[in-house]
Structure 1
């Protein structure tokens, strides 16, 4: 299993906009993760940081900004 480089890849602007929009619609973090899965994205915890992944491959796209946790 690959581990994220927490030093950090930045998430693309379009994806970040989607993450923020879906977070504002969701009532809980659990619902937000469920909504993101519908778009083909996931969030996993790596070394104390949350990393956005592409489902189902689990390809790491970047570290989630702390403002969205």
Structure 2
């Protein structure tokens, strides 16, 4: 399991803005994940039910995503 790296809060805020926007326009979680891949990100579901945003192709963990984004 990869550890979440310490990110600049402004960078994380910008990435989260992109992720949130893409979630709003996607019709399903599957489409959302596909759209994020186009930007070089993926979402990894953890064993304890959390969701981690990672970079592609190296799967560097950036931040944990709020559960509200998946409902």
Q: What value does the CA root-mean-square deviation take over the aligned residues?
A: 2.0
Tell me which stretches of 4 or more aligned residues in structure 1 moved more than 4 Å.
none
TM-score (norm 2): 0.80
> Displacement of 1:4 after TM fit?
4.1
1:67 is aligned to 68
Q: Which residue of 1 aligns with 2:14?
A: 14
Q: Return 5+ residue gaps in structure 1 as ranges.
A: none
Higher relative helix content: 2
Determine the C-alpha separation between the residues in 2 that align with 1:28 and 1:13.
23
Quick check: 1:54 aligned with 2:59?
no
